[in-house]
Amino acid sequence: MAGITDLPFRSMVLRFGAGLVVSEMVASEDMVNARPSTRARAELAAGDARTSVQIAGREARWMAEAARMLEGNGARVIDINMGCPAKKVTNGASGSALMRDPDHALSLIEATVNAVSVPVTLKMRLGWDHDCLNAPEIARRAEEAGVRMIVIHGRTRQQFYKGRADWAAVRHVVENVTVPVVTNGDIVTPASAREALRLSGAAGVMIGRGAQGRPWLLAEIAAALTGRPAPARPRGEAFADLILEHYERQLAFYDTDLGVRTARKHLTWYLEDYPDAAALRARLVRESDPNRVRAMIRSEVPDLGAAGMKEAA
């Protein structure tokens, strides 16, 4: 997720355990033409076997070149973004706009698959709108082109993030291909993961927003689905330690000034399930001195009351 699944956040999620995590979307042309420093950031930890690097674009040559560069830097899986609904992306005819032009989409997919030897996967939505639910058709053609796994966010582009993800509609994709299909959208608990799998018939689930402020969620859901004991959710001192670790990683990765700002949304998410943390949250996101942020977390988080969040079902 752009702006969220950076290296610090992915590290926190992987600490608890996850089958696969995905980088922020990288614009393929920027990737190829970017300054070395920009490139280094996009590629960090690409060599991790559980990290997939996602690229977006609208020209086959940039997609192929970006994929080649990433593979050269150790990427183990390359994912193609055909799901992003943002106007600045779709107006550039990439992201979910590609679903309106399947022939062109296929030319990008083929170019990417042919450029690398690591597996290439595809992320898309159900279609552009309800009159154009063409994910099953694109998935079949993508499979023929060599795509090894397909993730479907169960909404159309025109829905953006509104309404409910339609897990049952993902089944049409599952039935049209032999490669694994992963269902995505609104999965936030083991119960919703089970229901999404039941309705879609998919081979797996992908979690997005549910993991914000809950880096343990992927491990918790995986444990529930496979009948293993769930990892303990950090509470009290352990919860403060976790937040502080993430905070330090943000500051080290982005440098202090930027890190203080990029950390704020994560601090908010960590505390949003705690009814008695509203005042602390407000103070944390206004504070620019990292030492005062650290002190507040250290002194106030361990004493927060029980989380009022949706408990694992």
Ligand X SMILES: Cc1cc2nc3c(=O)[nH]c(=O)nc-3n(C[C@H](O)[C@H](O)[C@H](O)COP(=O)(O)O)c2cc1C
Stretch that binds ligand X, among 1-9, 34-42, 235-243, 288-296 (CB under 6 A): 1-9
Distance, in Å, from the CA atom of 193 to the CA atom of 202, rounded to the nearest integer, reads 11
CB of 207 to ligand X, least distance (A): 5
CB of 67 to ligand X, least distance (A): 16
Would you say 126 and 154 are in contact if contact means Cβ atoms under 8 Å apart? yes
Stretch that binds ligand X, among 9-17, 132-140, 204-212, 242-250 (CB under 6 A): 204-212
CB of 89 to ligand X, least distance (A): 9
Would you say 127 and 139 are in contact if contact means Cβ atoms under 8 Å apart? no
CA distances from 277 to 235, 241, 294, 296 (A): 14, 17, 16, 11
What number of other Cβ atoms are within 10 A of residue 203's Cβ?
Answer: 14
- Window 118 to 177, contacts with ligand X (CB under 6 A): 123, 153
Of the residues 210, 234, 290, 302, which one makes contact with ligand X according to CB under 6 A: 210
- Residue 80 lies near ligand X (rule: CB under 6 A): no
Distance, in Å, from the CA atom of 66 to the CA atom of 1, rounded to the nearest integer, reads 18
Stretch that binds ligand X, among 12-20, 62-70, 182-190, 250-258 (CB under 6 A): 182-190
- Window 8 to 27, contacts with ligand X (CB under 6 A): 24-25
The DSSP string of 274-302 is: -GGGHHHHHHHHH---HHHHHHHHHHHGG
Q: Across-strand partners of 124?
A: 82, 152
The token pair that represents 23 in the structure block: 């980088």
- Residue 184 lies near ligand X (rule: CB under 6 A): yes
CB of 154 to ligand X, least distance (A): 8
Locus of tokens 């169960």: 154
84 is catalytic: yes
The token pair that represents 295 in the structure block: 């002190």
- Residue 92 lies near ligand X (rule: CB under 6 A): no
Distance, in Å, from the CA atom of 311 to the CA atom of 234, rounded to the nearest integer, reads 13
Q: In which region does residue 59 sit, left (phi positive, over 0), alpha (psi from -120 to 50) or beta (all else)?
A: beta
Stretch that binds ligand X, among 102-110, 134-142, 185-193, 263-271 (CB under 6 A): 185-193
Q: How many residues sit in the footprint of ligand X (CB under 6 A)?
A: 20
- Residue 185 lies near ligand X (rule: CB under 6 A): yes
CB of 187 to ligand X, least distance (A): 5
* Residue number with CB closer to ligand X (182 or 297): 182
- Residue 194 lies near ligand X (rule: CB under 6 A): no
Would you say 127 and 156 are in contact if contact means Cβ atoms under 8 Å apart? yes
Of the residues 92, 201, 208, 290, which one makes contact with ligand X according to CB under 6 A: 208
DSSP single-letter state for residue 131: T
Catalytic-role residue among 12, 42, 75, 84: 84
CB of 268 to ligand X, least distance (A): 14
Q: Which residue is nearest to ligand X (CB)?
A: 208
CA quadruple 190, 178, 141, 42: dihedral positive or negative? Answer: positive
Distance, in Å, from the CA atom of 99 to the CA atom of 274, rounded to the nearest integer, reads 40
- Residue 3 lies near ligand X (rule: CB under 6 A): yes
Q: Where in the sequence numbering do the catalytic residues fall?
A: 84
Residue numbers at the binding site for ligand X (CB under 6 A): 1-4, 24-25, 54, 81, 83-84, 123, 153, 184-187, 207-210
